[in-house]
Amino acid sequence: MKIITIGLITGLLVLTAYIVISDVTNFETDAERINSIYSETEIFSEAPYSGNTDEKAQHLIIIAKDSWKPGCEVDDLCFLPYEKTINAGETVLFVNEDEFEHNVRLRGDPNYLHFPTDVIRQNEYFVYKFYEMGEYQYHCTLHPWMEGVINIR
């Protein structure tokens, strides 16, 4: 009975990961998905007074559906992708596709990337420009298991 239960749980986790990844990869590139987010104004909106630039984003990070629940961190599926590499001076659009509010803060920094807004609601986004090279670890303070990494070269 234990083997069957473990097999079913494993199968459900694999299926869930496949569905989440399939939802994200239905778009061929970040640019196509970003354009979709910008154009679908009846669904997505910019978080008030957020981010550090008005420039159009070049890269995308999604706050995944159901990331408010512990478990997404097991396969690094809370922020999609978990790790992203960009060039200094490029911009990232963070969009919340979860049903719950989240925030994004760099490790060791007291401010949110979307300062002064304290949360990003469902279907809200903000754009952040990274200026300096390095590895930036970030997380959601409301759901501390949610973590990601941005490498700036």
Q: Which residues are annotated as a binding site for Cu cation?
A: 102, 140, 143, 146
- Binding residue ranges: 102, 140, 143, 146
38-41-43-45 Cα dihedral, nearest 10 degrees = 70
